[in-house]
Chain A
Amino acid sequence: NAGVMQNPRHLVRRRGQEARLRCSPMKGHSHVYWYRQLPEEGLKFMVYLQKENIIDESGMPKERFSAEFPKEGPSILRIQQVVRGDSAAYFCASSPPALTNYGYTFGSGTRLTVV
């Protein structure tokens, strides 16, 4: 039973380019969450999605960031026109319904470096 799969593990982008981060949840998990972690800091919530629905995007920056979880395929976090401040580790997590019964399972993250 594979865990949460994130790719790529490392991504380097020049300022102004687009970054696409992919996340495949654990089998049987229908809820996906994206978190951002800056160096030496905790994880900050970005967005919570179910299949074809954004449930809570209160942590997403208002511009340049978007997320989707289509009916088929992985969840995608998209960052347009990246800037140096976007450099961080981006973690995806998944859970079955009722988080508080099971907790999240995190992937290994995508480390984005903007040069």
Chain B
Amino acid sequence: GENVEQHPSTLSVQEGDSAVIKCTYSDSASNYFPWYKQELGKGPQLIIDIRSNVGEKKDQRIAVTLNKTAKHFSLHITETQPEDSAVYFCAASKIGNEKLTFGTGTRLTIIP
């Protein structure tokens, strides 16, 4: 089955700087890659996703890049703000298979 690895497990960034979180996946048939943000005591919230027919997607300060050959994808947050502090999860899935395989999460702390 699919295996998703995520790095780093913790990340501290000065407010205003950029943060990058990386994930690799094992199943070359995976073609849908969402990112979720989870705040303390809440459920995960979808923040951005990308499909394998696209190499990059951007939404304001958040962007995701995908390298299908290397089987890795990354989340980029620019101009970080204190409210970006949370745990971020990457995930992978195949079209037609609705099960998501999640990474182990990155705890992002923005230092004011």
Taking Cβ atoms with an 8 Å cutoff, the residues of A that contact B are 4, 6, 31, 33, 35, 40-45, 48, 55-56, 58-59, 91, 93, 95, 99-100, 103-109
Contacts and interface: CB of A to CB of B under 8 A. Distances in A.
Contact of B34 (A42, A45, A103): A103
B45 interface: yes
Contacts of B45: 106
Contacts of A48: 98-99
Contact of B104 (A42, A99, A100, A106): A42
Given A100-B32, A100-B93, A100-B95, A42 B102 contact: yes
Interface string B78-112: 00000000000100010101111111110000000
Contacts of B105: 40-42
20 contacts: A6-B43, A35-B102, A41-B105, A42-B6, A42-B105, A43-B100, A43-B102, A48-B99, A58-B99, A91-B43, A100-B31, A100-B32, A103-B34, A104-B34, A105-B46, A106-B43, A106-B44, A108-B41, A108-B42, A108-B43
Contact of A56 (B41, B99, B103): B99
A20 B16 CA distance: 44
B103 A42 contact: yes
Contacts of A56: 97-99
B68 interface: no
A45 B92 CA distance: 12
A109 B43 contact: yes
Contacts of B41: 108
Interface string B13-46: 0000000000000000001101010000111111
B76 interface: no
Contacts of B104: 41-42
B7 interface: no
Contact of A103 (B49, B99, B101): B49
A95 B98 CA distance: 9
Nearest to A109: B43
A99 B101 contact: no
Most buried by B among A41, A55, A106: A106
